[in-house]
Structure formats: C-alpha cells, structure tokens
C-alpha cells in the first residue's frame, strides 16, 4: 500500500508538477514535458484507485 | 465551483439521503478537518477553466485580480464560518427540511424546481467546457456568437449533444461510480491546474513579476481593442469571488453538508478548497488565455484549446474530467429536484433524464457559458434570499415574538410570507439586472438577501403569527 501511495505521489508530484516547474525554469522542452505529464496522468489513474478504494 | 472528495465522501452521500427528515445523530458527526478535505475537491471544477480566462477577457488588471480574489475568498470563508456553520450545527437539518418547516412542502417544491433549473444551466456550461476539449482532437473548436441563443458550428453542437447524452445516461445509471471517480481525480486536477499556469508562464517567456504584468496588460489591451473597453475593477472582483457561491453560503444550501459537523469550526472547511479552486486555479486559467493571446492573438476563452496548448493531452483529459465530474452530480441533483414534477409511479430516473436534456440544450448555446460570470451572480441572487428567511427564522423569530418554523407548527403546506419575502426582492433584483440598468448580477445578492430577511420579519409581524 505504501509503495502504491508513493507511485501516486510521484506521478503527480514529479511527473506533472516538477516537470512543469522545470519547463518554467527553462530546463525542459515543452514536448518532453507533455509526454511526461501524460505518463504521470496514466500512472495516477491506474495506481490511485488501488489504494484509495481500500481507504 | 461545485462537488466532492475523499474522507468526507460519506457526508456528501448522506447529504442527499440519510437523516433527511431528522437531525443528524451525534454518532454520525464529523470533526472539522473532514470538511477541509471534502471542500478541497469541491471548488476545483470544470467551470474554473471557463471563469479564470473570463477575468482577463473582462479587462481585470492582474493586481486587482490577485488582491480582489484574496479578499473575496476570505469574505466567502467567513460567511460559511459565521453564517452557515452555527445554524447547521444547531439545527442539524438539511436545507430542504429546514425550509419545509418554515415555508411548507408545496413552496419547497417550487424552490426545488427553480433550483433544479439553475443547476441545469450550470451543468450546461460544464457540458460546453467538456465538449470544447472533446472537439480538439477532431480539430473542431467553438466560436461564441453575439446572440445569447446563437449556435456555434453544427459539428460543435453535435459534440455537445453527444457529451450531454453520455453524461445524462451516466448520471441516471451510476452516480456513485462517478462520485468515486471524482474523488480519485480531484488531487490530480488541482496539480494539473497549477501545471497549466506554469506552462502558460513559460509560453509567455515570463521571468519576473514585471514581465508578467507587461504580458498581462498587453493581453488586456488586445482584448479591449477587439471587444471595446470594459471595466472589471477591484471591488467587482471582490464581490464576485465572495458571492459566486452565494447560493451555498448566503443561500444556506451547505446546511445539508455542515449539519454533519461536531462544531462550528466546520465553517473553516471551504478555506483550502476556495484558495485552490477560486484563487490558484482561476489565476492559472487566466494565464493560459494571456499566453494564447501572446502566441496567436486569439482572445476566445476556449477551455479545451487553452489546456491543449498549455499541457497537451493531459490538459484535454483534465478539461473533460473536470467538466464531467462536476456536471454529473449537478445533473443528478437537478434531477432529484425535478422528480417531484413526475407522478409517484414514474421511473426514479425520469427527473435526471429531464435535467440532462435541459442541461444539454443549454450547453448547445456557447454564449451561455461565456456569460458564466453573470450567471453565477444570478444564481446567488435568486437562491440566496431563502437563506435570509432561514437566518431570521433561526435567530429572530423567538426574540421578535413570531412563530418559528411557521409551516410546521401551523401545519401549512404553503407559507405566503416566505413566498412574498423571496419573490419580491428577487423580482426587483432581476429588474435591475436585466433592465436598462444592466446591474452586474453579483451586486444584487446581498441587497436581495437583506430585503428578504426584513420583509419576512415585517410580514410575520403584520400577520401576528
């Protein structure tokens, strides 16, 4: 359960929020950011129901 | 603007069903922190994608927006805390049962239908928002006609109908599933809103506050060169952000939720949600329009196109999910209100189907969603005054020596005093909003609320109840 929660946190904290900050700072291309965000979105919706359902 | 989330999901589920006609028992009461979580998701909705850009399109300065929203949101939170929560904790009844005890069951039906109709228009705007995103992969965007009842392209109207029908079927068949999905999506949506804002700042090549202010002002200049000069100043922003949820706080709709509170501190519940949805999300959404104007010169506030430009497919998914998860419970609630219009042997989903059809019909007219700033003010003006009647009934009836819970005590199905106290100020408010004065709708909310409260006191005293 803790691992699943960690994956959820990474999916929105790193793959969505952090990459948008990196884009803003000029450290990342917009096209790469969009792909990483989509991966983060898919991860969130696959993993989060597994632990949120239990709670 | 509207729906639910996590630990307190039980509160929302119960708000419509359990303990409908009895006070909530002590064993079911929740601590005030449960309400923080629930409201966090409630105010990050599909409409935020629409409302945020409208501030820029209306010519608001960034300074006025930043400070105006801050003050307005604080005032809204204080209204929940000191107006709604004490009554909710004291009576522990739903808005509808509380109103029934004061106004009578037939007048509550009238209120329900009016409430349901307004819900439908709100859901219609959410359907338009979702359809704007669905159209992007098919290269179908929408234009906003000058005429309020003007249509966009046939292809966009078709997408609205398809999205509306799907949402209606889901609302009729699986409210709980979507409610659970909304809980899962809420944290993700809030983060995507923030990411959209950061991406828009990057698109504008902003590297300091000064450069942001310059880009914002350029955006406002472009909008005003096309639409003409309009004024959306500091106080207008304060009043709008304070009263855009007036039906929930001044109108006491959130009695149905806060009756589950152990104490009045639950009134602080909306504080996180308001600053995520009605501050961060609105400002981020407005940055997206500023970036679009810089990149393309296009001033249309098309949520799907804005999100697509900012964060790609994630933005498209977010707009669809945000619109869907908020339109669905809105259609469902409107359906419950309409159900009383059907004979008792009618199918239980009849009201939801009717509400979905009305919402879809409203969604076909994009000018309605473009008028969202006016609509939410209108919503508060029409429904807010009933909260004034509840306030007077709760605090003043005994002190001023007239009957508390009049309809309940007198076994009346229709309290004429409530009808007059509600309809007369609202009619006057609507006259100023739609008449030659063209009053900004949110400005009418508090005068109507005060007028209804005073009128109810006067009529009750005159009829020596």
pLDDT given at position B349: 83
Sign of the four-CA dihedral B336, B337, B339, B344:
positive
Q: For B373-409, how does the pLDDT look when each residue is reduced to its tens digit (9 = 90+)?
A: 889 999 999 999 999 999 999 999 999 999 999 999 9
Q: Which of A51-55, B73-77, B227-231 has the lowest mean pLDDT?
A: A51-55
Q: Which residues of A touch B (CB under 8 A)?
A: 12-13, 16-17, 19-21, 23-24, 26, 30, 33-35, 37-38, 40-41, 44-45, 48-49, 52-53
Mean pLDDT throughout B57-84? Answer: 95
Measured over the CA atoms of residue B46, residue A34, residue A6 and residue A17, the dihedral's sign is negative
Chain B residue with the nearest C-alpha to that of A21: B198
How far is it, in rounded angstroms, from Cα B111 to Cα B386? 9
- DSSP secondary structure letter of residue B297: -
Rounded to the nearest integer, the mean pLDDT of chain B is: 89
pLDDT band at B8 (very low <50, low <70, confident <90, very high): very low
Which ipTM was obtained for this model?
Answer: 0.96
Q: Kindly tell me if the per-residue pLDDT of B14 is higher than 70.
A: no
Which residue from B minimizes the CA distance to A24? B202
Instruction: Output the six-digit token pair for B391.
Output: 């306030």
The secondary structure of B384-422, three-state, reads HHHHHHHHHHHHCCCCCCCCCCHHHHHCCCCCHHHHHHH
Give the gap in angstroms from C-alpha B391 to the nearest C-alpha of chain A. 38
Q: What is the pLDDT of residue B89?
A: 95
Return the pLDDT at A8: 96
Please give the DSSP secondary-structure letter assigned to residue B323: H
Structure confidence at residue B9 as a pLDDT band (50, 70, 90): very low
Q: What is the pTM of this model?
A: 0.88
Of B6, B202, B314, the CB nearest to A37: B314
Share of chain B above pLDDT 70, in %: 95
**Which one of B147-151, B366-370, B437-441 scores highest in mean pLDDT?**
B437-441
């Amino acid at each position: 359960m803790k691992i699943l929660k960690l994956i959820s946190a990474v999916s929105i904290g790193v793959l969505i929020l952090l990459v948008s900050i990196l884009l803003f700072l000029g450290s990342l291309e917009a096209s790469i950011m969009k792909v990483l965000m989509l991966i983060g979105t898919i991860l969130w919706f696959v993993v989060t129901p597994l632990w949120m359902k239990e709670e | 603007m509207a729906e639910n989330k996590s630990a307190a999901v039980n509160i929302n589920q119960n708000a419509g069903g359990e303990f409908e006609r009895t006070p909530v028992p002590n064993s079911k009461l929740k601590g005030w922190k449960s309400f923080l979580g629930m409201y966090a998701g409630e105010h990050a909705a599909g409409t935020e994608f629409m409302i945020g850009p409208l501030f820029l399109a209306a010519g608001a300065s960034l300074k006025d927006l930043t400070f105006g929203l801050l003050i307005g949101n604080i005032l809204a939170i204080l209204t929940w805390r000191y107006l709604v929560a004490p009554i909710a904790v004291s009576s522990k009844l739903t808005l509808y049962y509380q109103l029934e005890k004061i106004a009578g069951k037939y007048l509550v039906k009238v209120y329900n239908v009016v409430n349901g109709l307004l819900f439908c228009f709100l859901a219609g705007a959410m359907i338009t928002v979702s359809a704007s995103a669905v159209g992007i992969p098919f290269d179908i965007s929408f234009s906003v006609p000058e005429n309020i009842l003007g249509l966009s392209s046939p292809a966009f109207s078709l997408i609205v109908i398809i999205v509306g029908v799907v949402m209606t079927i889901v609302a009729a068949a699986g409210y709980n599933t979507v409610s659970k999905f909304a809980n899962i999506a809420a944290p993700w949506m809030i983060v995507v809103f923030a990411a959209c804002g950061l991406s828009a700042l990057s698109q504008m090549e902003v590297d300091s506050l000064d450069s942001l202010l310059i880009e914002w002002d350029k955006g406002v200049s472009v909008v005003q060169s096309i639409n003409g000069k309009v004024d959306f100043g500091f106080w207008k922003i304060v009043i709008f952000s304070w009263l855009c949820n007036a039906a929930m706080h001044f109108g006491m709709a959130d009695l149905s939720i806060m009756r589950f509170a152990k104490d009045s501190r639950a009134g602080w519940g909306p504080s996180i949600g308001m600053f995520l949805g009605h501050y961060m999300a609105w400002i981020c959404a407005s940055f997206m329009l500023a970036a679009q104007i810089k990149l393309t010169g296009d001033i249309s506030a098309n949520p799907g196109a804005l999100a697509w430009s900012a964060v790609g497919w994630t933005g498209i998914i977010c707009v669809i999910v945000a619109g869907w998860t908020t339109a669905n419970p809105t259609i469902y609630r409107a359906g419950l209100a309409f159900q009383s219009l059907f004979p008792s042997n009618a199918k239980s989903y009849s009201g939801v189907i009717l509400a979905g059809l009305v919402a879809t019909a409203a969604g076909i007219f994009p000018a309605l969603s473009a008028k969202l700033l006016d609509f939410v003010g209108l919503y508060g003006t029409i429904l807010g005054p009933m909260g004034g009647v509840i306030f007077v009934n709760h605090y003043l009836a005994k002190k001023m020596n007239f009957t508390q819970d009049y309809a309940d005590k007198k076994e009346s199905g229709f309290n004429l005093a409530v009808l007059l106290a509600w309809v007369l100020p609202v009619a006057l408010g609507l006259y100023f909003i739609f008449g030659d004065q063209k009053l900004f709708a949110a400005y009418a909310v508090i005068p109507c609320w005060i007028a209804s409260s005073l009128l109810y006191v006067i009529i009750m005293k005159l009829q020596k109840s």
